[in-house]
Chain A
C-alpha cells in the first residue's frame, strides 16, 4: 500500500511530516460528498415542486441552476470555510493543504475544484484516480495545478497496555536516567515493533516466539546497557515487556491531560 508522506523543513531546521491520502481514501470521501450533494438536491427538488405550482419553466430553471451551482460550489465553500475539509474529508480525517505547507488560498481551492472536470473523466474520477495513484505525492491533476495536497490525520489509538503489562515489578525503572536514554535512543518504529510483538505473542509458534523475543531483547539491550542486577534472571520476553513498559507507561501513568485536537 502506498503511504507517502509530506516532509517540510522549516528555515529553522525543523522537519515535520504529514501522511498523504491515497486514491482509495479520497474516493470514499468523494463518495460521501456526492451523497451530501444529492441530499441537498433532494431538498432543492421539494422546493422546485412548490415553485412549479407558480411556473413550471421557472421551477425547471431553478433546479437546473441549483444543481449546477451546488455541485461546483459545494467543494469550494466547504474547503474554504472548513480550512481544506468537506463533509467526506472530515469523516475520513482528510484535509487539503498547500503543497509547501503555506496557508491555503481561495484561488487554490477554486482551481482544484474546477479541475475536477478533467479529473472526473471519463467516469468516476478515472483520470484523477490514475494520476493520484502514480504521482509520488498522491496528487490528482487539480492538486498539481493548484499546488495542493490531501493529507491524512489518522486517529492514533492508545495501545491497551493493561492486558500486556500486569503491573509486575520492572527492574529497569530503578534506573531513571538509563530509562530516559532508552526512550531517547529507540526510534518510534522500534518501540512499535516491541509493542506489536507483545500484542501478537499468542499468535506465534512457540519456537518462533522464543527466537523473536530473543532477537528483540538483544536489540534493545544493545541500545542501552543496564546494570546486571537489573537484567539478570529476566527472560527475553519479560525484558521486552519491561522496555515497552518504560517507553509507553511514561505517558499512561502520568495521566497527562490530553493535548491535541
Chain B
C-alpha cells in the first residue's frame, strides 16, 4: 500500500525515466545490440516499472501517471517478449534469389490450386465462346477484343505508323499499376475465406480462354502466341502467385485440420504473403515493360517466331528460377526454420 504518493512517485521516477531512455534508444536504433549487462538492467527496470504500475492500478488518483506507466510497460513488454526475428538489414539479392523462390515452393500447393482454378476458367471461357459466339461481348467486355481477330491481324500487320509512339512509357506504367492493383486485390480477397480470390482467378481464366478460343478459331494462333507470350508468360504467373497468396491467407483464416488459433496461423503466414506480393510486383513491372515495348509490335516489325521464342525463353527461366533458385540454401526457408517456440505454443 502506498502511504505517501508524492514520495513514491519521486523515488520511482528515475527508474521510469531510465527505462524510457533505453526504449527510445532501442526504437531509434533498431540495429543496435545491447550488452548482457544492459539487457539485465532493462529486465530489472521493466519488472520494477510493472510492479509500480500494479501498485498504482487500483489507485483512484494519478490517472496520468497510471496511463504513462501503462504506455511504458506496454512498450517494454513488446521488446522483452518479442521472439520473432528482427530483420537488421535488407539483402535484396538474397531476398530475390533465395527468400522469394523458397517461399513460393513452400506454398506450392496453393499455386497449383490457383493454376487449376484459372485453367477451369479458361476451359469455361473457351467452351462458352465456341458454343455461343454471340456471348463474346459478355465474356470479354473490352472494346479492343470485340474486333474480328482476322481483321485485327490484318490491320496490325499493315500498320505503317507506331500507334504507341510517345506513349510507350505511360502505357507501360498503366499496365504495371493496373495489374498490380488487381494482384493485390486478389491477395486481399483471401479474407473472404478465399471466395473472392477464386472468383477473380476464375474470371481471369474465362477472359484468357475466350480470347484464345476466339483467335484459334479464326486461324490466328501464331499471332496470338506472338502477341501474348512475351508478356503473358510473366504476367499470368504473377497473377497466379497473387492467387496463391490469397489462398494461403484464406487457408490461414479457415485453418482446416489445424488446432492452432487463427491469430497464430495468420501471424505465421504474414511474412510469406508480403514476400509473394513483392515478388508479384517485380514480375508485373517486367511484364509491363515487355507488353508496352515488345508485345504490341507484330510482323513485319518483329517476326512472330522471335517473339514466341523470347516468350518461351522467359517462361523457361521463370520455371527454373521458381523451381531451383535458392534450393541449395536452407530449403526450409529462414522463417520456417526459426518459428519461435513461444509463438508456436501461443
- Given A115-B191, A248-B61, decide whether A184 and B184 contact each other with a Cβ distance below 8 A: no
Task: Name which of A34-42, A143-151, A206-214 contacts chain B.
Answer: A143-151
Q: Mark B180-197, 1 if CB is under 8 A from A, else 0.
A: 110011011111100010
Q: How far is the CA of A261 from the CA of B168 in the complex (A)?
A: 52
Residue on A with the closest CB to B28? A83
Are B181 and A156 neighbours in the complex by a CB distance under 8 Å? no
Specify which of A58, A83, A147, A256 is in contact with B270 (CB 8 Å cutoff): A147
Interface size, chain B (Cβ < 8 Å): 74
Are A108 and B270 neighbours in the complex by a CB distance under 8 Å? yes
Q: Which residues of B contact A106 (CB under 8 A)?
A: 87, 274
Asked whether A65 is an interface residue with its Cβ less than 8 Å from the other chain, the reply is yes
Task: Name which of B31-39, B47-55, B301-309 contacts chain A.
Answer: B47-55
Specify which of B61, B82, B271 is in contact with A250 (CB 8 Å cutoff): B61
Judged by DSSP, the binding face of B is helix
Q: How far is the CA of A260 from the CA of B336 in the complex (A)?
A: 40
Are A188 and B3 neighbours in the complex by a CB distance under 8 Å? no
Are A260 and B73 neighbours in the complex by a CB distance under 8 Å? no
Are A114 and B277 neighbours in the complex by a CB distance under 8 Å? yes
Are B60 and A64 neighbours in the complex by a CB distance under 8 Å? no
Are A103 and B82 neighbours in the complex by a CB distance under 8 Å? yes
- Given A16-B74, A64-B173, A260-B64, decide whether A57 and B168 contact each other with a Cβ distance below 8 A: yes
Are A259 and B263 neighbours in the complex by a CB distance under 8 Å? no
Residue on A with the closest CB to B78? A103
Q: Which residues of A contact B68 (CB under 8 A)?
A: 259-261
Asked whether B174 is an interface residue with its Cβ less than 8 Å from the other chain, the reply is yes
Specify which of A8, A101, A105, A258 is in contact with B84 (CB 8 Å cutoff): A105
Q: Mark B1-34, 1 if CB is under 8 A from A, else 0.
A: 1111110011001001100000000010000000
Q: Which residues of A contact B263 (CB under 8 A)?
A: 99-100, 147
Q: How far is the CA of A64 from the CA of B173 in the complex (A)?
A: 7
- Given A61-B170, A114-B188, A117-B188, decide whether A156 and B63 contact each other with a Cβ distance below 8 A: yes
Chain A, range 152-185, C-beta contacts under 8 Å to B:
153, 156, 158, 176-177, 180-181, 183-184
A87 to chain B, nearest CB (A): 19
- Given A60-B170, A111-B274, decide whether A251 and B51 contact each other with a Cβ distance below 8 A: no
Asked whether B70 is an interface residue with its Cβ less than 8 Å from the other chain, the reply is yes
Q: Which residues of A contact B102 (CB under 8 A)?
A: none
Asked whether B176 is an interface residue with its Cβ less than 8 Å from the other chain, the reply is yes
Asked whether B172 is an interface residue with its Cβ less than 8 Å from the other chain, the reply is yes
Are B63 and A65 neighbours in the complex by a CB distance under 8 Å? no
Asked whether B57 is an interface residue with its Cβ less than 8 Å from the other chain, the reply is yes
Residue on B with the closest CB to A98? B78
B203 to chain A, nearest CB (A): 16
Give me the interface of A with B, judged by CB distance under 8 Å. 8, 10-18, 55-58, 60-62, 64-65, 68, 83, 97-108, 110-111, 114-118, 141, 144-147, 153, 156, 158, 176-177, 180-181, 183-184, 186-188, 190-191, 247-248, 250-251, 254, 256-261
